[in-house]
Amino acid sequence: MKKLIIVFCIILFSICSFSNEIDEQATKKLLAATKNNKLDDVVSLLKLNVDINTVDKKLYTPIMYAVENDNIEMARAIIRLNPNLGDININGDTVLMMANSKEMINILINAGARVDKFNDRRNNPLLNAARKKDPSIIEALIKHDAKTEIRNARHQTPLLLAIMDKRVEESKVLIKNSFIDNLDKDGNTALMYATEEDIIIELLNNGTDLSIKNKKGIIMGEESLMLSIELGYELAVAKFIERNQNVNFRDMYGDSPLTYAVKKNQKNIVEMLLNSGANINFKDLDGKTPIQIAVGKAYKEVVNLLIKYGAEI
Q: What are phi and psi of 29, to 5 degrees?
A: -65, -35
Q: How confident is the model at residue 14 (pLDDT cuts 50, 70, 90)?
A: very low
Q: How confident is the model at residue 309 (pLDDT cuts 50, 70, 90)?
A: very high
pLDDT at 195: 98
Per residue in 57-81, pLDDT tens? 999 999 999 999 999 999 999 999 9
Contact present, 197 and 236 (Cβ < 8 Å): yes
pTM of the model: 0.86
Does 116 have pLDDT greater than 70? Answer: yes
pLDDT at 23: 82
pLDDT at 3: 53
> For 18-112, which CATH class?
mainly alpha
Per residue in 136-195, pLDDT tens? 999 999 999 999 999 998 889 999 999 999 999 999 999 999 999 999 999 999 999 999
Helix, strand, coil % over all residues of the chain, rounded to 5: 50, 0, 50
Contact present, 54 and 31 (Cβ < 8 Å): yes
Contact present, 88 and 125 (Cβ < 8 Å): no
Average pLDDT, the chain: 93
Nearest Cα neighbor of 66 from 25, 90, 91, 101 is 101
Per residue in 293-307, pLDDT tens? 999 999 999 999 999
Give, in order, the Cα–Cα distances in Å from 133 to each of 77, 144, 165, 176: 27, 19, 10, 17
Q: How confident is the model at residue 119 (pLDDT cuts 50, 70, 90)?
A: confident
Side chain identity at 128, as an amino acid letter? N
pLDDT at 122: 87
Does 276 have pLDDT greater than 80? Answer: yes
pLDDT at 2: 54
In the chain, what percentage of residues exceed pLDDT 90? 88
pLDDT at 21: 54
pLDDT at 275: 98
Compute and round to an integer the Cα radius of gyration of the chain.
30
Give, in order, the Cα–Cα distances in Å from 246 to each of 3, 78, 90, 242, 250: 100, 59, 50, 11, 10
